[in-house]
Amino acid sequence: MRIRRPTEPRPSEITPPSVYAERRNVLKALGLGLSAGWGATTGALTLGANALTTPARTALVTIPSPLSTRETPSSYTDITTYNNFYEFGLDKSDPAANAHTLKPRPWKVTIDGACDKPGTFDLDELIKPHALEDRIYRFRCVEAWSMVIPWVGFPLGALLKRFAPDSRAKFVEFTTLQDPLQMPGQRRAVLHWPYREGLRMDEAMHPLAILAVGLYGAALPNQNGAPLRLVVPWKYGFKNIKSIVRIRFTERAPATAWNTAAPEEYGFFANVNPAVDHPRWSQAQERRIGGGNSLFTARLDTQLFNGYGAQVAPLYRSLDLRKWF
């Protein structure tokens, strides 16, 4: 029997082969790129045991959400320095080091496709009619790690209704900014750029699905998807597309980034499911980021739909979750 050495990476921490080939040889120095936002500014913030300090952050006026989990949120340091955002690099620390090149203002979002009121809008005008909520959500990544993140956002469905989707609208497609000057990782053919994701209309209209514009009461840092990202807490992290510039109503399921790159590994639905393993590792457990040496952090049993089954299971009553993963 082969014994795994304590220093050997766990299967859940192994990057897909297509990505590994592009991995940087030298990690860059850690830095924090923070986006502009709304409201008054707060003072410098000391971040946990590493004593990292950010510049003043822009505070957001929010209301609490009854949909929040009661779990303790992960630290601001962990949330903003351990990220998947391949547009800024392949290592978890790369987005925090490199995302300062992103300019989150001004920012335009196009909403079009099968709807009666399409158009291109300034992001601040798009957000203005919506009350911003604090929503503490569990966040589960396909590599079997997780965090608890206090997002600031508003219901995706409330935005979509404003544009009067018509009877052809069965899905919603989301597209990330494509600009290699701002997103240097796009100079490498790691994925087919720009990054795209999609939801079924009933998923997009579910009250748990939000568009996030901040976290920890302040505007989103660049590395976390500034200035606008999707958060769908019952799905794996790769569905939660960042830096959105287009939302399109479609009749057919849109092609999505990871499902296109590796359809045998990343399904369109991407619902968190401990009974459906990734082809190269188990999804039955997860490792909560934070709380000491991550290699030896206690592992948690993964919950179906990331623990949100009571709210979302009816959406999939007619689906075989092993086939439609």
Contact 119, 50 (CB under 8 A): no
Structure tokens at 60: 């957001």
pTM: predicted TM-score of the whole model, two decimal places: 0.84
Torsion angles phi and psi, residue 21, rounded to 5: -65, -20
Strand pairing report for 299-301 and 285-288: antiparallel
pLDDT of amino acid 156: 98
Quick one: which of 220, 252, 235, 228 has its CA closest to 110? 228
pLDDT for residue 11 is more than 70 = no
Query: For the chain, first and last CA: distance in Å?
Result: 32
Contact 151, 275 (CB under 8 A): no
pLDDT of amino acid 66: 96
pLDDT for residue 165 is more than 60 = yes
pLDDT 10s digits, 266-308:
999 999 999 999 999 999 999 999 865 556 677 999 999 999 9
Averaged pLDDT of the chain: 85
**Mean predicted confidence (pLDDT) in 94-105:** 98
Quick one: which of 270, 298, 266 has its CA closest to 285? 298
**Mean predicted confidence (pLDDT) in 156-162:** 98
Confidence of residue 44 (pLDDT cuts 50, 70, 90): very low
pLDDT of amino acid 290: 86
Structure tokens at 21: 């080939």
Return the higher-pLDDT residue of 237 and 36: 237
pLDDT for residue 63 is more than 70 = yes
**Mean predicted confidence (pLDDT) in 93-115:** 98
pLDDT 10s digits, 189-206:
999 999 999 999 999 999
**Mean predicted confidence (pLDDT) in 218-239:** 98
pLDDT 10s digits, 18-36:
443 333 332 232 232 323 3
Q: How far apart are CA 297 and CA 312, in angstroms?
A: 29
pLDDT of amino acid 8: 33
Q: How far apart are CA 129 and CA 68, in angstroms?
A: 22
Mapping DSSP to helix (H, G, I), strand (E, B) and coil, where does residue 77 land?
helix
Burial class (CB in 10 A: 0-12, 13-18, 19+), 41: exposed
pLDDT of amino acid 295: 60
Domains and CATH numbers, the chain: 13-136+151-266 (3.90.420.10)
* DSSP output for 60-71: ---EE-TT---S
**Mean predicted confidence (pLDDT) in 51-62:** 62
Quick one: which of 206, 253, 213, 254 has its CA closest to 230? 213
Q: Which is it for the CA torsion 124, 126, 128, 134, positive or negative? A: negative
pLDDT for residue 64 is more than 50 = yes
Q: How far apart are CA 74 and CA 30, in angstroms?
A: 19
pLDDT of amino acid 291: 62
